[in-house]
Amino acid sequence: MVVDLGAAIMTAALSPTALQGENRRFRNTGGRSEENRPLGFRPAFKDVASGAVYDSRFADGRPAPFHLLDGLPEDVILHRDPTGRVGRVKDSIVSGFVLNGQFYTREEAAQEVAALAA
């Protein structure tokens, strides 16, 4: 299934609070790391403006098992809080997952998980 990622751009830039909201929205759908990790999905981000895909990482570069903004490259970060944690990224960054080298939005991952369960 092909989805226009340009349409997936949020009206507000991703932030830790926005990621928490996405996790609530996608609970029990397969669109969260806890639900799709056993199938091989890795949390990631895509810059729909450039096409670049970034695995979710801790600030020190280690792979993160969930969506974490701190490991994104500096050129997509718009704001850091006083402790240095990423507070906001460019509007063109969307959260999703990588499976077998392909990026899936949260919606696409949920659909794939449902199809695999059928």
Q: Where are the beta strands (DSSP E) in the chain?
A: 42-47, 53-55, 77-80, 86-89, 93-99, 102-105
End-to-end CA distance of the chain: 17
Instruction: Name the pTM for this structure.
Output: 0.88
Q: What residues have CB less than 8 Å from 107, skipping those under 6 apart?
A: 3, 8, 31
* Full pLDDT tens readout for the chain, 118 residues: 334 444 444 446 899 999 999 999 999 999 999 999 999 999 999 999 999 999 999 999 999 999 999 999 999 999 999 999 999 999 999 999 999 999 999 999 999 999 988 7
Give the integer Cα–Cα distance in Å for 47 and 51: 5
Give the integer Cα–Cα distance in Å for 118 and 42: 21
Q: How far is CA 72 from CA 24, 42, 87, in A?
A: 22, 15, 11
Per-domain boundaries in the chain: 5-117
